[in-house]
Chain A
Amino acid sequence: GQQLNQSPQSMFIQEGEDVSMNCTSSSIFNTWLWYKQDPGEGPVLLIALYKAGELTSNGRLTAQFGITRKDSFLNISASIPSDVGIYFCAGREISSGTYKYIFGTGTRLKVLA
């Protein structure tokens, strides 16, 4: 099945730094979801986006639904050690006629104290 292009694949940052990651698709999406997954656990929903251009925050996390409907961005401000984990995006295509979500391959974040 189709997968989203998520980047970067991994990143090491210092505590206190800001983090940015993004997902891009060749298809137009009508919904974007962002998740965080800890090792051996299920993904936890962070932010949901439903409209092009929408900007939504959840604490230190901010996500945006790209204007082209083909991309989305997640920013984490002032990172802390507990931000470590894998961040996934998921999108749902308008053209598919179904509600099936497509998932990115994840961005592995490591925070150095």
Chain B
Amino acid sequence: DGGITQSPKYLFRKEGQNVTLSCEQNLNHDAMYWYRQDPGQGLRLIYYSQIVNDFQKGDIAEGYSVSREKKESFPLTVTSAQKNPTAFYLCASSMDVNGELFFGEGSRLTVL
């Protein structure tokens, strides 16, 4: 089935550790995105990528990094510089920059 796959579903991290969240899509979409979701808030954009080998910072990029080496993959690294990383992370893709967003099932990161 076509879709967006995020892994892992749940992740625990000790303070000071970097962790990488995986996002893979087989929809042949050009654009991919990472959002952060916190209780009571709307989704906030971390990073986005319009095409392979290109990505741009969103509203809350500090403490995060991404890469886009392949069209279907857009991994997100939560670095130790992110002061409050505990959250639900959502990956999304769209056919192009004007298209609708389709989301993966999310990854919940908890910092111990």
Q: What residues of chain A have their CB less than 8 Å away from a CB belonging to chain B?
A: 1, 3-4, 31, 33, 35, 40-45, 48, 88, 90, 98-106
Contacts and interface: CB of A to CB of B under 8 A. Distances in A.
Nearest to A105: B42
A95 B75 CA distance: 30
Given A100-B45, A105-B40, A105-B42, A42 B90 contact: yes
B42 A88 contact: yes
Interface string B79-111: 000000000001000100110111111101000
A35 B104 CA distance: 13
B53 interface: no
Contact of A88 (B43, B97, B100, B105): B43
A43 B90 contact: yes
Interface of B: 4, 6, 31, 35, 40-45, 48, 58-60, 90, 94, 97-98, 100-106, 108
Given A40-B106, A42-B104, A45-B101, A100 B41 contact: no
* List of 8 A-B pairs having minimum Cβ-Cβ separation, nearest first: A103-B42, A42-B103, A1-B59, A99-B97, A103-B43, A42-B105, A3-B42, A42-B106
B86 to A, nearest CB: 15
A74 to B, nearest CB: 15
B5 to A, nearest CB: 11
A3 B60 CA distance: 14
A99 B97 CA distance: 6
Contacts of A40: 106, 108
Given A1-B59, A40-B106, A41-B106, A105 B41 contact: yes
Contacts of B102: 45
B40 A43 contact: no
B89 to A, nearest CB: 10
A15 to B, nearest CB: 27
